[in-house]
Structure 1
Amino acid sequence: MHNLIKAVVNSNENTLLREFLHQLRQQKRTYWLRNDIIVFFEQFCQEQKQEGKLSPTGQSTVQIEKILQVIQEIILESESYCIVIRPKIAQEEFYRLTNALEVEAISVQEILAIRDRYVNRHHPADGKIFEIDFRPFYDYSPLIRDSKNIGNGVQYLNRFLSSKLFQDPQQWLSELYKFLSLHNYNGTQLLINERIQNQAQLSNQIKEAIAFVESRPGTEPYPEFRFPLQSLGFEPGWGNTAARVQESLELLDALLDSPDHQILEALLSRIPMIFRLVLVSCHGWFGQEGVLGRPDTGGQVVYVLDQAKSLEQQLLEDITLAGLDVLKIAPQVIILSRLIPQSDGTRCDERLEKVYGTENVFILRVPFRSNGHSTDYWISRFEIWPYLETFAIDAEKELWSVLNGRPDLIVGNYTDGNLIAFLLARKLKVTQCNVAHALEKSKYLFSNLYWQDLESQYHFSLQFTADLIAMNAANFIVSSTYQEITGMPDSVGQYESYKHFTMPDLYHVVDGIELFSPKFNVVPPGVNESYFFPYSNYQDRTMGDRQRLEELLFTLDDPSQVYGRLDNPEKRPLFSMARLDRIKNLTGLVEIFAQSDSLQAQCNLILVAGKLRLEESEDPEERSEIEKMYALIDQYQLQGKIRWLGVRLSKGDTGEVYRVIGDRRGIFVQPALFEAFGLTILEAMISGLPTFATRFGGPLEIIQDGENGFLINPTQTKETGDRLAKFVQQCDQDPDLWSKLSQAAMARVYSTYTWKIHTTKLLSLSRIYGFWNFVSQEEREDMLRYIEALFYLLYKPRANQLLAAQHSL
């Protein structure tokens, strides 16, 4: 890339480049991001053409345009331009270009110092700034070479492990033997017993065992030949029938004779090692009723509840297939959350709550404590950091009590849950999985640079530090999409944004995460098919619910729940459902609708969006959006064309609402400025609604534009309105078009986004990374001690400061 810059500097385009850089300086702006740079360059070229300095075809800008396609930032200093280039996904390079067009590479440390100076936080040459660098700690780990394979870490790890088995069979077979021999359930030995003393004996006994089960009918139940197999050294866990046991033993035999990554994955995926799971979602308002849509919950509660139910079903299936019914094993799934004594009429003050429709899934709530006393009220996710360490200590005792043992896997959710997962996994020595859902650093532009200005409201110094700790400590990380990790060619991923950044006056992150680590895996969530299913499945719908919700959506006159009457309720509905916050951008959808006469003529806009009145909300961002919503309705005189429902719907009602919209051949619009994944998109698509969703974030991977939905840029108001209006007009002219998109949307979800697919993959990952954790435990110890140092030197002192400030109020 350095050569490409020099090529521009030495080409006949250098005069134009010099003029462009000069024009950048005239804008009285010193920090330029990619999109702004490209827009300004286009304007600049138009002006140059008008002045006759550039040919109408723009042929003399070819080299400059190549550079602009990979530039992420330009920071203007007094005598130079500091350029951040992203030549490939997950890679950055830094250069200084002087006014005289001299170019040199600069280091990460230099670019971080330049960013500090930009916000007037300059550190002198002999000044002290704490540096965080995780790069050396990934030397123990295999690394993916091709960025296209990021997010498929388990496949790479399997190849690595199988190659190790091949290169050094004695050591790795010894490790495999130890791994198989340590498995037990409540003291009952599984897989192999003391009759097999070492890996050589294991290899011999396998062949005898295979010959034994091969001689029996394939469908013969395991209990009928359990004891003869036990005499050969093999305990329960290999299968529930003779054929299944034979398959499992043959996989192990093949792995010992000729290591192969596919065989390794198939074998490890069968090993019964997960019986007790903990899913951490701790920042409060976690329940089955009366909490969905409250601040800090919403989609995460839906995700975790559905995941927990599906995990139990998959574990029950796996236990049966492994032949462990003979031991009467019952898997346990615990959702660890926060107990809130002042629970506002919800069940969030109950210590233990059974999850509906499950055998052994419970919500375990543990209070937040400070100075020995429980906190009674809900606390925003931005304020909870001082309570997490004590919460983890208390939660460990509670988990031992409920599970009668330690968990086999801990899955964190969101930053706070991931930090607790780290603290628990470190203490209990179990496998840790992280799920981010969304990383706040990506949602708030320049949030790290201006953290001091935002600290009183968001406490990003704690959140970003917690992210660094948890994501590096995790044995594996599950993301919903590829771009959540490394973005796209023209945008930086959420995890990628932690690679290099500065928190001025606090620390510099020289290398915050290894994006090529095989710990990253894309495992998208599913849809709860009990609640969300096609509108055309009339046999599964209740007529009373359908009529009640149809009235609520279109005609009910109840100011406590609904704002706005429809002049013509029969028009095609444009529908959206989300929290009222800036990122979800429902007010942006109102503007799109308001600025399209065609849409207003053909459609009604129906919104299900939290609160209706300012006095009902304690969230500043929600209150701001409420005010903006009313202002837009008045400004564009949308009365009679819009319905705004300020209701909290149950999951059953939510599913039926989508279907009622489908009955009227409506359209779902998700206009978020950024969406980490987009569960509502899946819910709408499986219900049969043609869906328009933001192109910023996860929807880019869910929707294949024009095939099973449409991608929009919600910041381009007119363009989005025109695209919606065009589709509506085409549907009016050709009713089959709506049905075609409806069918394609449903097919997309059923093929890729079910909880069965998700949990099968998650449990397979847990077993494979459990094995990797076992064989590499000592090599991880240096990193874990470094992480603990960051926790006690950076995180905990700031958390204590926040707690003291809270108590002084």
Structure 2
Amino acid sequence: MSELIQAVIHSEEKLDLRQFILDLRAKEQKYLLRNDIERAFAEYCHKHEKPASFYNSSHLGNLIYYTQEIILEEESICTIVRPQIAIQQAYRIDEEMGVEPMSVQDLLDVRDRFVDRYFPHEGDVFEIDFKPFYDYSPTIRDPKNIGKGLQFLNRYLSSKLFQDPQKWLESLFQFLRLHSANGMQLLINDRLKTKENLSKSVKQALAYVNRVNPETPYSEFRFDFQGLGFEPGWGNTASRVKETLEILDELIDSPDHQTLEAFISRIPMIFKIVLVSVHGWFGQEGVLGRPDTGGQVVYVLDQARSLEKQLQAEFEQQGLDVLGVHPQVIILTRLIPNSDGTLCNQRLEKIRGTDNGWILRVPFREFNANVTQNWISRFEIWPYLETYALDAEKELLAQMQGKPDLVIGNYSDGNLVAFLLARRLKVIQCNIAHALEKSKYLFSNLYWEDLEDRYHFSLQFTADLIAMNAANFIVSSTYQEIVGTEDGVGQYESYSCFTMPQLYHVVHGIELFSPKFNLVPPGVNEAVYFPHTREELRLHGMRDRLEELAFTLEDPDHVFGKLDEPDKRPIFSMARLDRIKNLSGLVECFGKSKELQQRCNLILVAGKLRPEDSNDTEEIAEIHKLYQLIDEYNLYGKIRWLGVRLSKSDSGEIYRVIADRQGIFVQPALFEAFGLTILEAMISGLPPFATQFGGPLEIIQHGKNGFLINPTNVEETADILLAFIQKCDRDPQYWQQLSERAIQRVYSCYTWKIHTNRILTLSKIYGFWNYSSQENREDLLRYIEALFYLVYKPRAQQLLEKHNQL
């Protein structure tokens, strides 16, 4: 039994627990989540005149603090306790205060009964359980180390090297023989026949380069090195070659995790990369602000540029220029024939700022031209992804003249396609999903049948399970993206166990303690987003144009609202118009605070101005809501709503224009997986005020370089904004101090160079792990394929039949 429950049951507070349960039964709500539970307990303490100490530090208070869910049944309650991050336990408490632990299967049955979808006479429901496939892999023990997979794996591998040096030296030797580029052997050649030859030859090669001028180019002693058994890839100069060989020599003689990472990260083994981002309008211009398109497009484009740049730097240091080796990065996305004036109907588009980076667009097959010729919502594209992956494979092999070394998926659909490609091509698969829909929509799995016609969660959640378990490694922007906080579960944690009533039970959906999870936050494009004080980089024509757009331009087609006092401090926000981004919540916050209206103007860059111009249901609803709030709070003259699609360079400058006026940036999302716009605002010099729900918790140090807000509490949010503005008025230096700290925070932690260097190191370490461990993943992959063909594919076919009727 949980120590938390045991402490209550074995004390006088047992009576309080009984009474609290009776009070809960008097309410209509039968399924309570954490916030509901805490609110109900506060009401209980007030009603029964309990002291503050009882609420905060009693045995029952402690139990309530760690309780995530309570489900009220007729003769008992089911309580889910989370004593620590990533660990959940379920218990049934009956009317006599008897307590018994519940299995995962029992818990999922209770949830099915809650939505009247439990029919035991019809047989057991299909159970999905991935736990057995992780039993033979190393796992992290301490929850605080979740997301540090690379460090864990390095320590694990180096310990294996130390325990059985001969076996692991053989693995290392054979691994070095694998690598080639453009058909040319790298690293070692056939003159080195055994692992003993390798150790001896490394020392001979070190003796050789010690006699050479450190600045001597590799090309001048390349053929001497071939005689010793070494091919290109060790370095571009004698000095660099010496460094790399010294690391290998140390790894052979006395392995440790730092030496292992240092050496593997220098091996040339990643040359061609595919980034998969299927849904949405993917392009370099004219797409931002369109449905299903936003931060992901910016993220993937910046990542592609940075990956090529990082690979180019690596190839130069590795001395591969003598072979004429160049990296290739392709973004794989969907071709949209009816492209609405964008370039999304072009098969191939060069990525600006790259030498060999391309957007490769592959169309969906024309099962129904009325559908596949047009943009399709991310919730509707599932029937096309299998055939898309088959077609994309042919296009990629032709374009790359060979297979990629790494496939990186983005979002649920991109990750599913990445799995299908990686499985067929037998290459490393990386999973990235900063925004999983399961976390956004409350009870989306419980009520999936009611939501299926609109969202098709049965397909999406199944695709997520497939991709995240198949991936060699998973990249997360934040720790809480994986396992949440003490207050709530993380995005990936929500897949640990859940029910899709009458479809399946997920008994163990993902191993959170697997070393496949790694924290690698994205960066900011420093060529576009930079501090407003960098006058030498700014274009005055652009500044003047955007300043006019933000504050004074009268253009009824693209701007709503004329400011009575344009010189007041601007509160600025820029986001898509959908429910989660919650711009309507910011407008309500502003509308309810007369003092904010007196001191500030509200400037929004968001979507379209007219509902008839949109075909996205959430956007249409938010447009109506914004107009309603503006009218309700009479915000005319105090708000400007820019219904424009800003280019990337314009979006960078508009942050700086707001910063010139000592404005502030507010990101009021109900949930934000990471928050790239927050980084963009911060590096521009804008003090950020961002949601406390999600990634901003790890970006912003509250009160130091920004502020965290609860967007569901508009009065409290207004108070936080006002307190900052009042302090700025009292101390003219305060805004500047926050601005400088925000800028420094980004430069120290969130650059693309840091990000891509980590991605490439991860790819190499996990590649080495797959080879050296000889871990047989075939049983796991076969299980995943069964899930794909027996659950995903039939449901995708049903959706396709509906599309064909349109």
Q: Distance in 1 between matches of 2:3 and 2:615?
A: 55
Show the counterpart of 2:37: 37
Give distance in 2, aligned partners of 1:181 and 1:303. Answer: 35
- Once the two structures are superposed, the pairs formed by residues 412-427 of structure 1 within 5 Å of their partners are 412-427=409-424
Q: Tell me the CA shift for residue 483 of structure 1.
A: 0.4
State how far apart, in whole Å, the 2-side matches of 1:762 and 1:436 are.
Answer: 15
572 and 30 in structure 1: CA distance in 2 versus 1, 3 angstrom threshold: same
Q: Does 1:68 align with 2:64?
A: yes
User: What pairs with 1:274-673 in structure 2 (closer than 5 Å)?
Assistant: 274-371=270-367, 375-673=372-670
Name 1:48's counterpart in structure 2.
48
Q: Which residue of 2 aligns with 1:2?
A: 2
Is the Cα–Cα contact under 8 Å of residues 365 and 388 in structure 2 kept in the other structure? yes
Q: Which moved more, 1:111-120 or 1:373-382?
A: 373-382
The whole-number CA distance in structure 2 between the counterparts of 1:800 and 1:776 is 38
Deviations 1:530-568 (A, max 9, x none): 110011111111111111111110011111010011000
Distance 1:624 1:107 in 2: 42
Matches within 5 A, 1:15-26: 15-26=15-26
Moved over 3 A (4+): 54-61, 370-374
Q: In the alignment, which residue of structure 2 is the partner of 1:14?
A: 14
1:741-769 deviation digits (Å, cap 9, x = unpaired): 00000000000000011111111111111
Aligned to 1:701: 698
Question: Is this contact kept in 2: 1:562–1:643, CA < 8 A?
Answer: yes
Look up the match of 1:128.
124
Alignment of 1:803 with 2:792, yes or no, is no
1:786 aligned onto 2:783 = yes
1:165 paired to 2:161: yes
Tell me, which stretches of 5 or more residues in structure 2 are unaligned?
Answer: none
Residue 776 to residue 506, structure 1, CA distance change in 2 (3 Å): farther
Distance 1:123 1:300 in 2: 41
Post-superposition offset of 1:99: 0.9
1:724 aligns with 2:721: yes
Question: What's the counterpart of residue 189 of structure 2?
Answer: 193
1:74-124 superposed Cα distances (whole Å, 9 cap, x missing partner): 111110010111111001111000011000101000000000000000131
8 Å CA contact 2:179–2:269 kept in 1: the answer is: yes
1:660 Cα deviation after fit: 0.5
Give deviations 1:605-647, integer Å, cap 9, x for gaps: 0000111001011011111100000000000000000000000
Q: Give the aligned residue type for 1:5.
A: I
Whole-Å separation in 1 of the counterparts to 2:730 and 2:115: 56
User: SS of 2:169's equivalent?
Assistant: helix
1:97-136 equivalent positions in 2, closer than 5 A: 97-124=93-120, 127-136=123-132
1:211 aligns with 2:180: no
CA distance in 1, matches of 2:590, 2:747: 31
- 2:17 partner amino acid: L
CA distance in 1, matches of 2:543, 2:51: 63
1:128 partner letter: D
1:754 aligns with 2:775: no
The answer to whether residue 731 in structure 2 is matched with residue 734 in structure 1 is: yes
Partner amino acid for 2:765? I
CA displacement, residues 713-771 of structure 1 (integer Å, 9 cap, x when unaligned): 11111111011011111111111000000000000000000001111111111111111
Cα distance, 1:10 vs structure 2: 2.5
Q: How far is 1:371 from its partner? A: 4.3
Q: Deviations over 1:371-429 (max 9, x none)?
A: 49792111111000011011110111101111011000000000000001001001111
User: Residues of 1 paired with 2:707 and 2:457: CA distance?
Assistant: 34
Matching residue of 1:89: 85
- Among 664, 679, 683, the alignment partner of 1:682 is 679
TM-score of the aligned structures, taking structure 1 as reference length:
0.98
Contact 2:170 2:195 in 1 (8 A): yes
Return the alpha-carbon distance in structure 1 between the equivalents of residues 332 and 132 of structure 2: 33
Give the superposition deviation at 1:171: 2.1
- Per the TM alignment, residue 29 of structure 1 is displaced from its structure 2 partner at its CA by 1.7
Kindly provide the amino acid, as one letter, of the partner of residue 28 in structure 2.
K
| Shift of residue 258, structure 1, vs aligned partner | 1.4
Cα distance in 2 for partners of 1:181, 1:214 equals 25
Deviations 1:313-353 (A, max 9, x none): 00000000001010111100000000111111110111000
Equivalent-residue separation in structure 1 for 2:685 and 2:55 (angstroms): 48
2: CA distance, partners of 1:784 / 1:516: 19
Task: Please tell me whether residue 142 in structure 1 is matched to residue 138 in structure 2.
Answer: yes
Answer yes or no: is the 8 Å Cα contact 1:528–1:755 preserved in 2: yes
Retained in 2: the 8 A contact 1:284–1:339? Answer: no
3-state SS in 1 of match to 2:270: coil
Q: What amino acid sits opposite 2:755 in the alignment?
A: H
Who is 1:248 aligned against? Answer: 244
Aligned-partner Cα distance in 1 for 2:391–2:361: 10
3-state SS, counterpart of residue 16 of structure 2: helix
Q: Matched residues in 1 for 2:789 and 2:203: separation? A: 52
Letter in 2 for 1:68: I
| Conservation of the 8 A alpha-carbon contact between 1:13 and 1:61 | no
* Distance (whole Å) between structure 2 residues aligned to residue 523 and residue 265 of structure 1: 16
| Count of matched residue pairs | 805
> C-alpha separation between the residues in 2 aligned to 1:696 and 1:56?
27
Cα distance in 1 for residues equivalent to 2:516 and 2:682: 30
- Hey, what's the Cα distance between the residues in 1 that align with 2:489 and 2:395? 40
SS in 1 for 2:120: coil
Q: Is the CA contact (8 Å cut-off) linking 1:473 and 1:784 kept in structure 2?
A: yes
Q: 1: CA distance between counterparts of 2:87 and 2:673? A: 21
Equivalent position amino acid for 2:407 in 1? I
State the shift of 1:140 in Å: 2.1
- Per-residue CA deviation, residues 751-804 of structure 1 (Å, 9 max, x unaligned), is 000001111111111111111122345521111111111111111111111101
Letter of the structure 2 residue corresponding to residue 758 of structure 1: H
Identity of aligned residues (%): 66
State the Cα distance separating 1:2 from its structure 2 match.
2.0
Q: Distance in 2 between matches of 1:409 and 1:334?
A: 11
SS where residue 510 of structure 1 aligns?
A: strand
Q: Give the letter aligned to residue 69 of structure 2.
A: E
User: What is the distance in 2 between the residues matched to 1:246 and 1:669?
Assistant: 51
**Partner residue of 1:225?**
221
Given that residues 431 and 773 in structure 1 are in contact (C-alpha distance below 8 angstroms), is that contact kept between their aligned partners in structure 2? Answer: no
Deviations 1:645-667 (A, max 9, x none): 00000011001100000111100
Residue 368 of structure 2 contacts residue 803 of structure 2 at CA under 8 Å; is this kept in 1?
Answer: no
Structure 2: which amino acid aligns with 1:218?
A: P
Residues in 2 aligned to 1:168 and 1:26: alpha-carbon distance in whole angstroms: 64
Are the aligned partners of 2:131 and 2:510 in contact in 1 as well (CA < 8 Å)?
yes
Say if 1:350 and 1:365, in contact at 8 Å, map to a contact too: yes
1:284 Cα shift? Answer: 3.4
Question: Hey, what's the Cα distance between the residues in 2 that align with 1:284 and 1:580?
Answer: 15
C-alpha distance 396-726 of structure 1, shift in aligned 2 (>3 A): same
Q: 1:57 offset after TM fit, Å?
A: 5.4
